[in-house]
Structure 1
Amino acid sequence: MKSVVLTALLLVLISCESKTLEEKEGISEEQALSTIENFFTALGSADTLLMQQSLTHDFYMFEHDEVWTINELLELMPLTKGRKWSFKEVRFESAGHAGHITYFNQGVIPSDRSWLESALLINEDGSVKIKFLHSTKLYLK
């Protein structure tokens, strides 16, 4: 009887620990948006460390009929220094350790550019990072 009770207690403890671990691996909308904001802050300030912290090692991006990688973004950074962006119409969904965010990206500096963007984010060792980003430039009138 003791072994049955101890086994049941052990299963309950393991079950609780599993839920706690799942919760830690999940991604909230706030974490996702913060990661997107960090990515663009890095791009606008030429902060290569923040850029690398915001992206997975195998990150890639579709924009302007091109595929971009981390290395190509790092090379681009001197040309984007001083730029700023704002994000509106944010939508977010998550499942497990992954999340998907979409948003309207409006250039602030310069203000004549905007994009519709979508990103796949993952929780990698406790840090939320962008794995894939798709950007469609809008030509607003």
Structure 2
Amino acid sequence: MKHILVLILFVIFSASTQAKDNTIFSPVSDLFSAVSNFDHEKMRAAVDDSFLLLEHGEVWTIDDFVNVVKPADYIRTNYFSVINSRVEGDVAFINYWNKANFKNTEKSADIYWLESVVVSKVGDKWLLSQMHSTRLPQGESPKGVTFTKQ
């Protein structure tokens, strides 16, 4: 009986930990879904007022990011592989691989980034506060990484 109780508590704890990880990653997923759909309003909704993106050697605000996301003739599909995450109160730190497939009628290409984010709880919602993004050289992919489609 004691072993069954321990097993039940383990399953409940594991499920709540996984749910927390999914919740803290939601603003990342939401942001890139909005980017894929060229939805500037939803991009802004995924970040807090102090958001900064450190993008391949440049510092961008959400306005800068929104300004480069323009409707185009391709479909962007997002894939992620979370390396690790840590929650400290109302702040979470997440490190992950990001893969985007860009496809149109003529070609398809994958681009990879190694990224980290700081996510802050604002009210009852997690929002992106900071993102650091390093793009891998074209044609290179991370070794041994398994991606999950968004």
Q: TM-score, normalised by structure 1?
A: 0.74
Pairing 1:1-141 to 2, within 5 Å after superposition: 28-78=20-70, 82-109=75-102, 111-139=109-137, 140=140
Structure showing greater radius of gyration is: 1
Residue pair 2:91, 2:119 contacting (<8 A) in 1 also: yes
The 2-side partners of 1:89 and 1:125 are apart by 25
TM-superposed CA distance for 1:109, in Å, is 2.2
Shift of 1:79: 5.6
Shift of 1:39: 0.5
Question: Does the 8 Å contact 2:26/2:126 carry over to 1?
Answer: no
How many equivalent pairs are there?
A: 115
Q: Residue by residue, what CA displacement relative to the aligned partner does 1:78-103 show, whole Å, maximum 9, x if unpaired?
A: 06773222001431110100000111
Higher mean C-alpha displacement, 105-114 vs 73-82:
73-82
Distance 2:127 2:87 in 1: 13
C-alpha distance in structure 2 between counterparts of 1:55 and 1:46, whole Å: 16
Give me the TM-score of the superposition, normalised by structure 2. 0.70
Identity of aligned residues (%): 24
How far apart, in 2, do the equivalents of 1:82 and 1:39 lie?
A: 16
Structure 2: any 5+ residue segments left out of the alignment? 1-18, 104-108, 142-150
Contact 1:40–1:84 under 8 Å retained in 2: no
Question: Which residue type is aligned with residue 64 of structure 2?
Answer: E
Deviations 1:18-46 (A, max 9, x none): xxxxxxxxx92111222111010111111
Q: 1:124 to 1:53 in 2, by over 3 A?
A: same
Aligned-residue CA RMSD (Å): 1.9
